[in-house]
Amino acid sequence: MSAEEPEGRTGGGPAHSFGNALAWKWSREMPRSLKGGFLTLLYALRAMASANGYLRFRDGKVIRIQDIAKAAGCREQDARRYLEAAIRAGVVVVEGERRRGTATLYVIANTNWPDWKAAEAYLKGTARRRKEDEEVNDGSGHSGTNLEGEGSGHGGTNQFGPQRSELGSDDAESVRSTVDRPGSVHSGTTGSGHSGTNIPGGTQGVPHDMADVVPQPQVDAGADEETDQPSPQHEEHLPYGRCEVCTTPLTRPGKPRCSVHSEPLPGQRRRGSSSRQRAIQPPLLASVPPASDRPAGPARPPFQWKPEDPLAPARICGCGREFKARTDQTCQDCQFAAHQEAETA
């Protein structure tokens, strides 16, 4: 044991000795690459093992690899790798035989000289192979090699059938007429984005020696500089000629002018740009009173309502209303009506 080990930890069973060696000696001697999931698995084995070092329950049932992986916080595949590395290091042994479908009984062992280099080499070797398996089964849909710098959905060679260079002339014709799978990004082994012969909108697979050269019409240099004056050749194709005022093509026979410049019929207003743009004034609905010749007098003051005096004698107005006032002979309603009539007069 190490000199730094506290007192009271020297004795005990195999599991206790394994824990002391792991905490005070092995964790400080093992390489840095093992101080991760591998070291966590060893601590989990120490916690799950019985006093004699066997990984099984009190009833004798063997602890499964799934339970060991959950205790170590890793996947079942990684737990198997860590256990195999621990066996190669000499800190874990197997009791009995390993058989498929049967739980393996592991036993922790307290060795004086564990081989950490063998465990490290095994983990590095299996990690490299596991990385390649993940690249193959990453869900990309193909198992070929990826080409660098290619943006198509399939960067490897076509694994169905021979390559294009291996095909003969007859095979090339059959490949050319083969219908491409709908929805695929590429058509063929080169990974390009061309479409097959039976896809709507695609180009037909016609050989170059069967294509004819179609003569193209020559375009004159002054074709863009067209003038408003009609050409004599174009004038011949007009069935009814042009208007003698604006040179607009006529649509009816027997008329020298268009509908804009034609003479109006008796009782018909002439149509033109000025008539179309002229606004129509609707008739006024309200009558405007004539202006008065007499000068306007001074403005009358507004009518002021007087508060009713409760101590004034009661009087009866000519309209039949009863009111209280000391000097007025009519009610305030009649006074307001007379004031309004005087203003409108």
- What is the pLDDT, as a whole number, of residue 4? 44
End residue of a domain, out of 112, 135, 158: 135
Average pLDDT rounded to a whole number, residues 235-256 = 75
Structural contact between residues 316 and 301, judged by C-beta atoms closer than 8 angstroms: no
Report which listed range, 65-69, 102-106, 256-260, is most confident: 65-69
Does residue 186 or residue 313 have the better pLDDT? 313
Average pLDDT rounded to a whole number, residues 233-241 = 60
- Residue 115 in domain: yes
- What is the pLDDT, as a whole number, of residue 309? 85
- Residue 250 in domain: no
Does residue 193 or residue 269 have the better pLDDT? 269
Instruction: Give 195-236 pLDDT, tens digit per residue.
Output: 445 555 545 554 555 545 555 655 554 444 444 555 555 445
Q: What are phi and psi of 106, to 5 degrees?
A: -105, 150
- Residue 91 in domain: yes
- What is the pLDDT, as a whole number, of residue 264? 66
Residue 147: strand, helix, or coil: coil
- What is the pLDDT, as a whole number, of residue 91? 94
C-alpha separations of 122 from 36, 75, 108, 266 in Å:
15, 17, 19, 113
Does residue 279 or residue 167 have the better pLDDT? 279
**Mean of the per-residue pLDDT values for the chain?**
72
Instruction: Give 13-38 pLDDT, tens digit per residue.
Output: 889 999 999 999 999 999 999 999 99
Does residue 87 or residue 226 have the better pLDDT? 87
Residue 164's pLDDT band (cuts 50, 70, 90): very low
- What is the pLDDT, as a whole number, of residue 74? 95
- Residue 87 in domain: yes
Residue 320's pLDDT band (cuts 50, 70, 90): confident
| C-beta atoms surrounding 20 within 10 Å | 21
- Residue 269 in domain: no
- What is the pLDDT, as a whole number, of residue 162? 44
- What is the pLDDT, as a whole number, of residue 328? 85
Average pLDDT rounded to a whole number, residues 292-299 = 65
Residue 105's pLDDT band (cuts 50, 70, 90): very high
Residue 170 has pLDDT above 70, yes or no: no
Decide: pTM greater than 0.75.
Answer: no
Question: How far apart are the C-alpha atoms of 175 and 125, rounded to whole Å?
Answer: 43
- What is the pLDDT, as a whole number, of residue 268? 59
Instruction: Give 126-153 pLDDT, tens digit per residue.
Output: 885 555 555 655 554 444 444 444 444 4
Question: How far apart are the C-alpha atoms of 309 and 312, rounded to whole Å?
Answer: 5
End residue of a domain, out of 89, 117, 135: 135
Residue 43's pLDDT band (cuts 50, 70, 90): very high
The domain that contains 22 carries what CATH number? Answer: 1.10.10
Does residue 106 or residue 147 have the better pLDDT? 106
Chain mean position to CA 243: 60
Give the chain's domain count: 2
Q: Give the up-direction half-sphere exposure of residue 29: CA atoms within 13 A in the CB hemisphere.
A: 14
Structural contact between residues 269 and 275, judged by C-beta atoms closer than 8 angstroms: yes
Range of the domain at 318: 314-344
Does residue 251 or residue 56 have the better pLDDT? 56
End residue of a domain, out of 99, 120, 135: 135
- What is the pLDDT, as a whole number, of residue 227? 47
- Residue 172 in domain: no
Residue 79's pLDDT band (cuts 50, 70, 90): very high
- Residue 42 in domain: yes
Residue 279 has pLDDT above 70, yes or no: no
Give burial (CB, 10 Å; 0-12/13-18/19+) of 83. Answer: buried
